[in-house]
A and B are shown apart, each in its own frame.
Chain A
Amino acid sequence: MSAVPVPPVIETTDLVRRFGDLAAVNGVSFSVAPAEIFGLIGPNGAGKSTLIKMLTTLLPPTSGRARVAGFDVSKAPAQVRRHIGYVPQLLSSDRELTGYENLVLSARLYLVPREQRNDRIEQAIAMMKLGDARDRLVGSYSGGMLRRLEIAQSTLHQPAVLILDEPTVGLDPGGRHTVWDHVRSLNRELGMAVLLTTHYMDEAQELCHRVAMIYAGKLSAIGTPDELTRLYAPGGTLDDVYQNIISRDEAAGP
């Protein structure tokens, strides 16, 4: 790391989103450095998806601020969208198109310059090992192939940050490792920052430089996987950290 402070690629300050009386996200502040792989962990309903929706401009915050790739999500949503890649939990490839057609669609939506379109698409197909399946309808893809296509189509425009919502749910161990490898190589080779949500502690331990635990709309802990185990479950695993923090927060009440 250089001595010059690098502006974070994601930065939120007291971010809040209410649905009626319920604060799904309740004052969340954190930042993600460029070239960092950052994990958000938390049980279902903790506020992960709402947080992601705000960072991807799908949902406006009730209060607080969020800047992504240097742009405010409320004031410059279009700029934010240009600089992020997003792989939603519900897979977003069109099943009635081929893999190649899906990539063309994304390249156009993200305004990849026409003269670079083909090269980028071919590179992505090669990198994600989708060569044999490129002209097949996506409806016939396996879960692992779908994830790879999703990652390919959301990184064609070389975003500053890639946001993945539970990227390995439903994959077999082989498929999970392949996704991890691809995320790592995008991070290392292209310097892309990665923000991902996950339920799997091994995924967080294995893949993430830093993780944040979210519970009942608030951040409970943040740090490297090693820091968190040292602090919350000495000698244990990230799984123990998770359990300890959850029981502590449950005891403390909302």
Chain B
Amino acid sequence: MTAARQDIGTTESARDYVTHVFAVADAEFHKLMHDPLELFSRAIQPVLWLVLFGEVMAQVHGITSEGQRYVDFLAPGILAQSVLFVSIFYGISAIWERDLGVLHRYMVSPAPRSALVLGKALSSNVRALSQAVVVYVCAVLLGVSMDVDPVHILAVVALIALGSALFSTFSLIIACIVKTRERFMGIGQVLTMPIFFASNAIYPIAIMPAWLKIIAIVNPLTYEVDGLRAMMLRGSTSGLGLATDFAVLSAVFAGLLLIATRFYPRMTE
């Protein structure tokens, strides 16, 4: 415990810190490049949601406001969902690494624990951004009027990076608590669905019952979806305020990063 506490206060130069974060993220990137099949298999789920769910639900009236097609409303929600789904099982790789012994290597290295957590969080961006490409292509084919303003696309990239970093760090914390793969699989399923359904991803907050509205408002995914909806669709505006979206996502991520930095080293004890 003492050791772990003091690590948080470890001071190293900004340059060394960046080297450490990059070392972790780059290694994850190379691993993914050795086995890119995963990226393709992950592309199936968002396509199914957009094409099947989207087409059928489009027949139901009253979900979206007058004049907005349901598939337009749905596309950013499905992108946020994909970001959540690829990130939420991230912690299982941490458990794998602990079981294999790879985690020991990170933990005995001089890299500050927060740099290790941050490196892992950044590496989840690659998977999440590849999902964005899939959703964009699919949305264009479905005739969604996408916003192609480069600044807005950059904002989408930033939102995805922040969202996947947030949910993968959350996942890492869960892994640190449950410690085994079997338990993680169970918990992962239990967490994913409430986060997804208690958000504005596939229906607006306005049509939710009051109690669900409260959950949706404290759910970070709601802010991810809100930001994406404003930046991805031509002529749409944010319901909660883009600044609020970024502020909430950043604050939650910072909090989770602090918690994970405390918990992560205990996995090797």
- The chain A residues found within 8 Å of chain B, CB to CB, are 53, 56-60, 73-78, 81-82, 84, 86, 88-97, 101, 105-106, 108-111, 137, 153
Contacts and interface: CB of A to CB of B under 8 A. Distances in A.
Given A74-B3, A90-B101, A58 B269 contact: yes
B109 A81 contact: yes
Interface in B80-105: 100-102, 104-105
Given A74-B2, A77-B3, A78-B112, A137 B34 contact: yes
Interface string B1-39: 111101100101000100110110011001100110000
A96 B34 contact: yes
A82 B30 contact: no
Contacts of A153: 105
B34 A97 contact: yes
Given A88-B105, A89-B101, 12 more contacts: A59-B3, A59-B269, A60-B4, A81-B110, A86-B105, A94-B27, A96-B34, A108-B20, A108-B26, A109-B23, A109-B111, A110-B109
B interface, how many residues as a size bin?
20 to 34
B190 interface: no
A93 B110 CA distance: 17
B110 A111 contact: yes
A89 B26 CA distance: 26
Contacts of B34: 96-97, 137
Nearest to B15: A111
Interface of B: 1-4, 6-7, 10, 12, 16, 19-20, 22-23, 26-27, 30-31, 34-35, 100-102, 104-112, 265, 268-269
A108 B23 contact: yes
B100 A90 contact: yes
A85 to B, nearest CB: 9
A78 B105 contact: no
A73 B2 CA distance: 10
A209 to B, nearest CB: 24
Contacts of B268: 53, 58
Q: In terms of DSSP, what is the predominant structure of the interface of chain A?
A: loop
B106 A96 contact: no
Nearest to B4: A60
Contact of B108 (A76, A81, A90, A94): A81
A78 B2 CA distance: 12
Nearest to B105: A92
A106 B268 CA distance: 18
9 contacts: A58-B265, A77-B6, A78-B110, A86-B105, A88-B104, A92-B104, A101-B27, A109-B110, A111-B110
Contacts of A60: 1-4
A111 to B, nearest CB: 6
B107 A82 contact: no
A74 B19 CA distance: 25
A85 B102 CA distance: 14
Contact of B104 (A58, A76, A108, A137): A58
A78 B8 CA distance: 10
Contacts of A75: 6
Contacts of B20: 108-109, 111
